[in-house]
Amino acid sequence: MIMKRVLVIFIVGLLVLSASAARAQTSGARAGHIFEFGAGGRALGMGSAYTAMVKDATSLYYNPSGLGLLEGRQLQLMRAQLYGDAAYDYLGYAQNFGKTPGGWGMQFLRLGVAASDGRDAINQPAGAFSYAETGFGLGFGLRGVGFPELSLGSGVKVLNRSLGQSSDNLMGVNFGVQYGPLFNEKLSFGLGVQNAISLSRVDTLDKLPMSVRLGTAYQVLGPLA
């Protein structure tokens, strides 16, 4: 009974956070856009549906509850060359707990822009400067929390931004839920709340914005090979 009450409170809390995020303004530039670039070719091709079926090394990025469905160890790498000399790198590692139905994972992300020549207020050379965002995350997920088909997960992430000689740090806490698969292991549901708790350090008013990822996935065909 206690476990079921905790489960109900957890899900209600996520729904409240979802409603709050839906009402939040999202116009203009937002801090932490690096966590929206994507990770892994399969996930990028499936969009929000991947929130409901993720169970690999990218779980921490999309929905930490997927860490509760891990089998063995996984490592994923991705690199994308962006506009100009900018580049985006992603590394994700995850493994299960062994006998306990669940797992943990970590991730590293970096967005870097090559150094450029700086100018002062009167257009005089002021030396070279560069911009970079570096993110790190750590989290876990558990399977069978109250119900056999239910997975819950949570993760914390830290973002460091640096421009020339100045830098700051932002932190966010994510939560996620997956339910399924149902109906002959074909239908799954997923909910991920990004930055449900957000903090900042050093001289900045920016915070990682709260966002919600909802997904539903239905497997029409089985493996083709």
Q: What is the pTM of this model?
A: 0.79
pLDDT for the residue 178:
94
Q: What's the confidence (pLDDT) of residue 121?
A: 65
* 3-state SS assignment for residue 219: coil
Residues of the chain under the 70 pLDDT cut:
1-30, 115-122, 124-129, 222-225
3-state secondary structure 72-117: CEEEEEEEEECCCCCEEEEEEEEEECCCCCEEEEEEEEEEEEEEEE
User: Three-state DSSP class for 221?
Assistant: coil
Q: Quick one: pLDDT at residue 134? A: 94
Amino acid letter, 59: S
**Neighbour-count burial of 140, counting CB atoms closer than 10 A to its CB (0-12 exposed, 13-18 middle, 19+ buried):** buried
Q: What is the pLDDT of residue 22?
A: 45
At residue 216's C-alpha, the angle toward residues 211 and 220, to 5°, is: 150
Q: How far apart are CA 213 and CA 191, in angstroms?
A: 6
64's tokens:
């930490």
pLDDT on residue 99: 83
Nearest C-alpha neighbor of 52 from the set 216, 193, 206, 208:
216
The pLDDT, as a whole number, for residue 3 is 47
CB 54 within 8 A of CB 68: no
Other C-beta atoms within 10 Å of 26: how many? 10
Position 186 scores a pLDDT of 86
pLDDT given for residue 86 in this prediction: 86
DSSP 3-state assignment of 21?
A: helix
pLDDT at residue 130, as a whole number: 79
Residue 219, burial from CB neighbour count under 10 angstroms (0-12, 13-18, 19+): middle
> Looking at residue 116, what is its pLDDT?
65
